[in-house]
Structure 1
Amino acid sequence: MHIEIAQAVEFLGRLLQNKLDASTISSFKEQLGELLKQHFLDHWDPQQPYRGNGYRSISNFNGDLDPVIVKAPLIHTHLPRDFVLWIDPYAVSYRVGDHGNIMTLYEDRSRGRVSLKMDPGNTGMISPSQSPRLQYLQPQSTPIRISPPSSPENKKMKPHIHQPSPLAMNAKKDGKKDTLVMAN
């Protein structure tokens, strides 16, 4: 869970790199990592990684913000419209727009066959963004900018000027010139 959360937090941090200073982004990533860790606590089953997928997603559709985003200020103003980030056991991916491709940020192809040994002397949990393994998983890169894909041609609005309503078109066919009267 820590690796997947760290991947998601780093990705969202890169979205903010051009918009905020480094200390604000660092604080945001730390706060978001802790929020996600608490949010996923009882909703993480490596044996059934897609169970609870909707609960673990972070979305911004039509201005409806995910509750986790509301708790972690700053991000919602910089997220692309129609954005979903899925954080699942062994995989982190995102999509921008209703017709966008799903882009994979992290995937453990071994599907859980790797076991990590915990230090028995360590009773506290470290933050996902402070994981020593993070440097091997995702190289530091330049800020990213994502924009939604174009709508398919059949979904685009065609410019119509003074298009008559279906009722008006039927009235023309019938040749009637009845006037409508509004009654209270």
Structure 2
Amino acid sequence: NAATISAGFAPSMKASKVDSAGLSTHATPFTPGPSGGKTGTSHPSGPYSSEEYFEEVSAAATWWTQSMRQEGLGTSQVRAFEEALKKGMSQRCEGHWYPSEPMRGSGHRSVINDITVDPILKQAAEASGISHRDAASRLPKCILWCNPGSVRVQMEKEHACTIFHSSSTPTAPSSNGSGSDSE
């Protein structure tokens, strides 16, 4: 139930650098953030570094982990799952993070567990020694959007609910889970 999701998630881990692992990136230039776009890329403006989206990625990974039924899993498996999610989501956000246009790239940064299981969830499961089918069955059927300044989740057919919001990044209203709670 989306109403039971806690708001104001505060991640507690420090950022780690993540390299690109062949995930698709677009050659669309954008305005660099406070870091000046200091990551390895051929674009003069460069993508935001993992530190730019660390809070959002951490909140999203922690939400997936806390939402997973953990009976029968070891603590080390759960931690490995969360860390692998952070790495995969950071890689997905790399080159697709636009704080001045939070909706831009939103679909690319979404993570889905429904009829299909998102490759990020499969990879995190396998990295933690959990079969991806077992992990998918332990996770809620939903879509999660990781956008600059907010992380939102929509459970099945319910309205999207914000699970993390940063007051430092403006968010734009949208029908895909990045705007207001009433869709």
Q: Same fold (TM over 0.5)?
A: yes
Question: 2:147 is matched with which residue: 85, 88, 93?
Answer: 88
Is 2:130 the counterpart of 1:78? Answer: no
Question: 1:3 is matched with which residue: 55, 60, 74?
Answer: 55
Match of 1:54 in 2: 107
- Aligned-residue sequence identity (percent) comes to 27
Report the CA distance between 1:90 and its aligned residue: 0.2
Q: How does 1:64-143 map to 2 (within 5 A)?
A: 64-73=116-125, 74=130, 75-81=135-141, 83-98=142-157, 100-111=158-169
Q: Indicate the RMSD between aligned Cα atoms, in angstroms.
A: 1.6
Aligned residues: 109
Secondary structure in structure 2 of the residue aligned to 1:54 = helix
| TM-score, length basis structure 1 | 0.55
Aligned equivalents of 1:101 and 1:57: distance in 2?
Answer: 16
Query: Structure 1 residue runs of 4+, over 4 Å off?
Result: none
More moved, 102-111 vs 41-50: 102-111
| TM-score, length basis structure 2 | 0.55
Report the CA distance between 1:96 and its aligned residue: 0.7
Aligned equivalents of 2:148 and 2:59: distance in 1?
Answer: 12
CA contact (8 A) 2:154 2:160 kept: yes
For residues 146-168 of structure 1, what are the alpha-carbon distances to aligned partners after superposition, in whole Å with 9 as ceiling and x for unaligned?
Answer: xxxxxxxxxxxxxxxxxxxxxxx
Report the CA distance between 1:32 and its aligned residue: 1.1
Match of 1:125 in 2: none
For residues 63-96 of structure 1, what are the alpha-carbon distances to aligned partners after superposition, in whole Å with 9 as ceiling and x for unaligned?
Answer: 2122222222243221223x10110000001011
Is 2:72 the counterpart of 1:14? Answer: no
Secondary structure in structure 2 of the residue aligned to 1:11 = helix
Match of 1:23 in 2: 76
Is 2:95 the counterpart of 1:35? Answer: no
Aligned equivalents of 1:101 and 1:76: distance in 2?
Answer: 21
**Structure 2: 5+ residue runs without aligned partners?**
1-52, 171-183
Aligned equivalents of 1:40 and 1:2: distance in 2?
Answer: 10
Aligned equivalents of 1:76 and 1:46: distance in 2?
Answer: 30
Aligned equivalents of 2:148 and 2:163: distance in 1?
Answer: 13
For residues 87-111 of structure 1, what are the alpha-carbon distances to aligned partners after superposition, in whole Å with 9 as ceiling and x for unaligned?
Answer: 000000101112x121111111332
Aligned equivalents of 1:33 and 1:111: distance in 2?
Answer: 20
